[in-house]
Amino acid sequence: SYARSPLEQLEPSRFWHTFSDMNKVVQGPKFVVSEAQGVWLWDDNGDRYLDGTASLWYCNVGHGRAEIADAVHRQLGRLDAYAVYGDFANAPALELSERLASHAPVADPRVILTCGGGEAIDSAAKVARQYWAVRGRPERVHLISRTGGYHGLNGFGTSIIGMDRFRTGYGPLVTDTSVVAHDSIEELEAEILRVGPERVAAFFAEPVIGAGGVYAPGPDYFARVAALCEYYGILFVVDSVICGFARLGNWFGIERWGVRPDMIVFAKGVTSGYLPLGGVIVSGAVAEPFWNEPGHPLHHGTTYAGHPTCCAAALANLDILEREDLFTASREIEVQLDSAVRTLATHPMVREVRSGVGVMAAVELTEEALAAGITTAEIFQESRARGVVLRAVPTALLISPPLVIAWEQIEHLVSTLRASLDAVAQRHVD
């Protein structure tokens, strides 16, 4: 019953694929996803694939949950939308903010809602800079982030991202930013001292670096970061866009290291991607001048922030996470995925497997394989042709399935990746 999309009529397509080289994409067939259920996808030929990445790290509760669809339908029937600005509000936005605040490891939290992660990062950066401005420290603007850190592609996000390919070619970006090694407290402190602590507004970090290749922190990294930020009075902003909503077995990922940041940025898993939503959880201390002192309105927001239907989707998604205890399930899947994917570490094409913190893993290719012209894109294509969708970044394949994946499906995923590595290696020998 899979409706074949009339692609012939759409050729040549006008659809500009983002994150892609259109010069290549337009020459190949498109991969049209038509249906999804649980951990499975179907293309427009009716062929089935295992979703090894929860789409783009977000479909934590799995696809096709009728409960979320029903909540969206009900909300659209009651109040489709009405913009939240000035003193306007809506019940789902208020309820979602309370619920997120009640679970956030942030002192006396306040919640800003956005339409996605990149917007939330920009909101956090603007709140941080304006916080210092209204506190009479307008020179305190510098933003520090980490190599491999991905923070969305809005203005501030593009400027603090730790991957050069996303920054180049746009002319001047936001100034007063810098990037430090992802695992070095010494480098972070040296950078704070180089810039001058009195000029640093905030430090941004993902709990586990995601798109940059799945790099978990050392055991005491975040405790030391939090102590350093507190010592120098720098705001500590955690980007939990990937790591939140049970991907690390808890609400926001960072709880794992027992620290309480000044702000937490979230998106993706908050709705499991059923509708777009993100936001920033801001500590009461940072909110203080805006909330409790006259004359500091925040001239920032977007048309769709706090959209009631998106918030209704989030609430239904959080109901599922809690009722099915996907937090505990995630911890179990983390162990299973780690044990399965580590078996690839001895594969001749694999330099390193990074896994074991959260339901996320990276399989990094050897320099020899890459030098021989083998690409992660080729392995990604091979694996997808064999029915498993993974994600290719320049030197690694990334894995981040929905948190409802079964052990047999993890085994299927890993054995398909192994077969794909073998097939691609064989092709390069032939």
- Asked if residues 80 and 275 have their Cβ atoms less than 8 Å apart, the reply is no
Instruction: Using the minimum distance from each CB to ligand PLP, give the nearer residue, 40 or 150.
Output: 150
Q: What angle do CA 6, 10, 11 make, to 5 degrees?
A: 120
Instruction: Using the minimum distance from each CB to ligand PLP, give the nearer residue, 52 or 118.
Output: 118
- Asked if residues 360 and 21 have their Cβ atoms less than 8 Å apart, the reply is no
User: Cα dihedral sign for 177, 144, 54, 164?
Assistant: positive
- Asked if residues 277 and 113 have their Cβ atoms less than 8 Å apart, the reply is yes
Counting Cα atoms < 13 Å in the Cβ hemisphere of 97 gives 21
Instruction: Using the minimum distance from each CB to ligand PLP, give the nearer residue, 116 or 261.
Output: 116
Structure tokens at 13: 């397509």
Pairwise CA distance, residues 270 & 358, whole Å:
16
Q: How far is the CB of 306 from ligand PLP (least distance, A)?
A: 16
Q: How far is the CB of 148 from ligand PLP (least distance, A)?
A: 10
Q: How far is the CB of 210 from ligand PLP (least distance, A)?
A: 5
Q: How far is the CB of 145 from ligand PLP (least distance, A)?
A: 11
Pairwise CA distance, residues 112 & 127, whole Å:
10
Strands 142-146 and 200-205: parallel
Structure tokens at 108: 């006396």
Instruction: Using the minimum distance from each CB to ligand PLP, give the nearer residue, 62 or 269.
Output: 269
Instruction: Kindly list the residues in this chain that would bind ligand PLP in the complex (CB under 6 A).
Output: 56, 116-118, 121, 150-152, 206, 210-211, 239, 241-242, 267, 278
Instruction: Using the minimum distance from each CB to ligand PLP, give the nearer residue, 84 or 241.
Output: 241
Instruction: Using the minimum distance from each CB to ligand PLP, give the nearer residue, 210 or 401.
Output: 210
Q: How far is the CB of 102 from ligand PLP (least distance, A)?
A: 23
DSSP per-residue letters across 364-403 = EEPHHHHHTT--HHHHHHHHHHTTEE-EEETTEEEE---T
Exposure string for 7-21, b = 16+ CB within 10 A, e = fewer:
eeeeeeeeeeeeeee
Task: Tell me the residue nearest to ligand PLP as measured from the CB.
Answer: 117
Q: How far is CA 36 from the centre of its chain?
A: 20
Q: How far is the CB of 83 from ligand PLP (least distance, A)?
A: 20
DSSP 38: B
Structure tokens at 269: 């898993």
Place of tokens 């074949």: 4
Instruction: Using the minimum distance from each CB to ligand PLP, give the nearer residue, 261 or 289.
Output: 261
Element (H, E) at 341: helix 326-341
Instruction: Using the minimum distance from each CB to ligand PLP, give the nearer residue, 56 or 392.
Output: 56
Instruction: Using the minimum distance from each CB to ligand PLP, give the nearer residue, 121 or 144.
Output: 121
Q: How far is the CB of 52 from ligand PLP (least distance, A)?
A: 16
DSSP per-residue letters across 303-318 = TTTT-HHHHHHHHHHH
Q: How far is the CB of 115 from ligand PLP (least distance, A)?
A: 8
Instruction: Using the minimum distance from each CB to ligand PLP, give the nearer residue, 362 or 421.
Output: 362
Q: How far is the CB of 51 from ligand PLP (least distance, A)?
A: 16
Task: For residue 146, list its beta bridge partners.
Answer: 180
**Cα distances (angstroms) measured from residue 101 to each of 162, 252, 287, 315:** 29, 11, 13, 13
Q: How far is the CB of 86 from ligand PLP (least distance, A)?
A: 25
Place of tokens 């509708």: 275
Task: For residue 365, list its beta bridge partners.
Answer: 350
Place of tokens 């920032």: 300
